[in-house]
Chain A
Amino acid sequence: MSTVDRVAAPVPVTVAAVPSAELARARRIKRSRNYFLFILFAGPNIALILAYIYYPLLANMYFSTLDWRLGARTASFIGLDNYAEFFSSRDGLEVWRVTIIFTVATVAGSMMLGLLMALVLNRRLPGRTAARTALFSPYVLSGVGVGLVWTFIFDPRIGILSHFIAMFGGTSPEWFLDKNLALVMVIAVYIWKNLGYCAVIYLAGLQSIPQDLMEAAAIDGAGPIRRFFNVTLPLLSPTVFFLSIAMVLSSMQAFDILRIMTPTGNGTNTIVFEIYLQSFGTYQRAGYAAAISVVLFVTLFAITAIQMRYVERKVHYA
């Protein structure tokens, strides 16, 4: 079995033969009992993870080399053509463009507004705990429900936003027809959903900044704006780093609101939405969708790996 067995057993043999043999036997029994118990306790979960998380990764790698429609009995091997298409065709590059704009704008928007909110909530005002809770709440709500609500709000004819615009003498733009405006619209909704999460994480970071540092800076004559840029922001940098990674990961996996507000994708085909449309939409291109899935996995894995490495280093030096 394991090396531990082979090393541990001979040692007592030289001391006294009979009891040590029993001891070794007892230890072996205990070990095999431990294996049995471990499989009993952790086996089902591990089997499920292997079957529905690891196996799909490998299967996708295989599918990604095929020209294959979902449900078709035949498929032909085409090597890396699917990847080449995703990285060079007009539609593939469009997905990259949309994903990058969507991710950067959503992450930057939620993080900046979230920071503003956190700075407001960091003052010791009565009622701020309730405000914090309310601000966080959109983050836990169903993306489908949220998408429906905002579809109504943005409706160019009868949406509340069009009434606001009319109040100032304008007419509502065609949010759902214009590709660029559709992208702006879903970005705004995702920022609305995420900014409370960012604010709460920032608040935890802000509260860990020692108060005497701020006081010392104030005594040195630094105004609130300088204190923010020279004391708060640098000390907040680990939080900013964590949040930007977490937000990039979640933005790259966005789907619910995109699907509800722009059902077939209209300038809003980010990477996950594209995987869905390609495999289960009208095209049913399973091989191509599998290739995009592999790219998605590799991208997110790389981003997480960077984060883990950084966190580890921080722990080392702390």
Chain B
Amino acid sequence: MTRPEWTRSLSRQNIVATLFAGYVPMLLALLIIALPLVWMIVASFKPVAEIVTVDPGFWPKSPTLDNYTAVADRVPLARVFLNSVIVTFVGAAIKVFLAITTAYALVFIDIPFRNAIFLGILVALMVPPEAAMLPNFLSISAIGGRDTLWGIILPGLGTAFGTFMLRQQFKTLPAELLEAAELDGAGHWRRLWRIVAPVSTPTIATVALVIIVNEWNNFLWPLVIIDSPEKMTLPVGLNLLRSIETQTGSYGVLMAGAVIVIAPVLIIFAALQRYIVAGLTQGAVK
């Protein structure tokens, strides 16, 4: 009982407890999360013979890029990838810009009823996009947006989420920060881009990353509004691939497709997880 602290923490009992209550369940959880993704990557490099087998090895015995070229064969892969990049970044850039200016107006431009307007935006946050899908399909078709990239982007541009997050951030800024600029004769536009936006960079980055990830993964709306393969984004293209590749041997091709849509987000997430986790868990931790 009177042994010093360090011998106790190295005691067999403590080591066993740390292992079995700490690392073993942690490793188990990591395996469950990681194995499907590792399996996806490994299988995407396997030839058909190693996919359709009763005795699959873990590593590909004769690794091949055939699955990736097969994806490019079935769908115009370069075009589809580019479409995804365009839709994601153009959509996200406009969305973030609109969120910044709207949040600024809601906090710093004094007009009556602006809180009512904010409430209206808050309610929009609660409308599930799936519930708006059918009327949006009709209105976008009516103005010629069917089967176009701008038709994918346009209805998603009004952003309640970004506006909400940035308004909360702008409200925390001290009034003195802007009074000085106002005395210097800086108008709202300059105050926004010279002062408010720069000091809010972390929040803007968070909002931007969450929007980028959501746009990249977006599936239902592009699926509805796009018909021709040349206009598809990656998730829609993969849906097409899935409906073409129906034989059991084609899983390698489907895994290659999955790698192409998953890997970019996984890389961005690994590098910037702090911001993404913060943005996605916002609201829970007050």
Where the two chains meet, the residues of A that have a C-beta atom closer than 8 Å to any C-beta of B are 2, 4, 31, 34-35, 37-38, 41-42, 44-57, 59-60, 63, 70, 116-117, 120-121, 123, 125, 127-128, 131, 133-146, 148-153, 155, 157-158, 160, 163, 166, 192, 196-197, 200-201, 204, 239, 242-243, 246, 252-253, 255-256, 259-260, 263, 272, 275-276, 279-280, 286, 289-290, 293-294, 296-297, 300-301, 304
Q: Which residues of A contact B109 (CB under 8 A)?
A: 34, 37-38, 41
**In whole angstroms, how far apart are the Cα atoms of A162 and B106 in the complex?**
56
Q: Is the CB of B255 within 8 A of A35?
A: no
Report how many residues on chain B are interfacial, defined by Cβ distance under 8 Å: 93
What's the dominant secondary structure at chain B's contact region? helix
Q: Given the known inter-chain contacts A140-B276, A155-B248, please indicate yes or no for A125 contacting B238, CB distance below 8 A.
A: no
Assess the B105–A49 pair: CB atoms within 8 A.
no
Contacting A293 at CB < 8 Å: which of B33, B134, B266?
B134
Identify 4 new A-B residue pairs, CB closer than 8 A, beyond the known A45-B158, A60-B132, A300-B126: A49-B121, A134-B30, A138-B33, A144-B219
Report the nearest B residue to A315, measured CB to CB.
B286
Whole-angstrom CA separation of A2 from B101 in the bound complex: 24
Docked pose: A128 CA to B208 CA in angstroms: 27
* CB-nearest residue of chain A to B110: A34
Distance, CA A242 to CA B273, complexed state (A): 22
Also in contact, A142 and B265, with CB within 8 A (given A204-B285, A279-B134): yes
Tell me the smallest distance from the CB of B227 to a CB of chain A, in Å.
Answer: 11
Q: Find B160's partner among A49, A63, A125, A286 (CB 8 Å cutoff).
A: A49
Query: A-B pairs with the 6 shortest C-beta distances?
Result: A48-B158, A56-B132, A41-B105, A56-B135, A59-B135, A49-B158
User: Taking the nearest CB of chain A, how far is it from the CB of B215, in angstroms?
Assistant: 11
Which residue on B lies nearest to A224, using beta carbons? B21
With A45-B102, A142-B261, A253-B130 as known contacts, state yes or no: A197 contacts B280, CB within 8 Å: yes
Q: Cβ of A52 and Cβ of B158 under 8 Å apart?
A: yes
Query: Known contacts A42-B101, A51-B139; is A239 also within 8 Å of B254 by CB?
Result: no
Interface positions of B from 109 to 163, Cβ below 8 Å from A: 109-112, 114, 117, 120-121, 124, 126-128, 130-139, 154-160, 163
A57 touching B132 by the CB < 8 A rule?
Answer: yes
Interface contact A53-B255, CB-CB below 8 Å? no
Give chain B residues whose Cβ lies under 8 Å from the Cβ of A48.
98, 155, 157-158
A123, A148, A200, A239: the one within 8 Å of B258 (CB): A148
Can you name 30 A-B residue pairings with CB atoms under 8 Å? A35-B111, A37-B109, A41-B101, A42-B102, A45-B157, A45-B158, A45-B163, A47-B158, A55-B135, A56-B131, A56-B134, A123-B22, A125-B18, A127-B26, A135-B29, A136-B277, A140-B217, A143-B235, A148-B258, A149-B37, A152-B255, A153-B39, A200-B277, A201-B281, A256-B219, A263-B242, A272-B128, A279-B134, A289-B134, A297-B128
Q: Are B126 and A301 in contact (CB under 8 A)?
A: yes
Point out the residue from A259, A279, A304 that lies within 8 Å of B133, measured CB to CB.
A279
Q: Which A residues are in CB contact (< 8 Å) with B124?
A: 49, 53-54
- B131 engages A297 (CB within 8 Å): yes
Q: What is the CA–CA distance of A259 and B111 in the complex, to the nearest angstrom?
A: 46
B13: Cβ under 8 A from any A Cβ? no
- B187 vs chain A, min Cβ distance (A): 9
Does B188 lie at the interface of the complex (its beta carbon under 8 Å from any beta carbon of A)? yes
Q: Choose one: B22, B34, B257, B262; the contact of A134 (CB below 8 Å).
A: B34
Partner of B101, one of A45, A138, A260: A45
Give CA–CA (A275, B132) in the complex, Å: 11
CB proximity of A94 to chain B, nearest CB, Å = 19
Q: How far is the CB of A223 from chain B (nearest CB, A)?
A: 14
Decide: A4 and B112 in contact? CB cutoff 8 A.
yes
Chain B residue with the shortest CB-CB distance to A166? B54
A42 is contacted by which of B33, B56, B106, B266 (Cβ under 8 Å)?
B106
Centre residue among B111, B112, B134, B154 by max chain A CB count within 10 A: B134
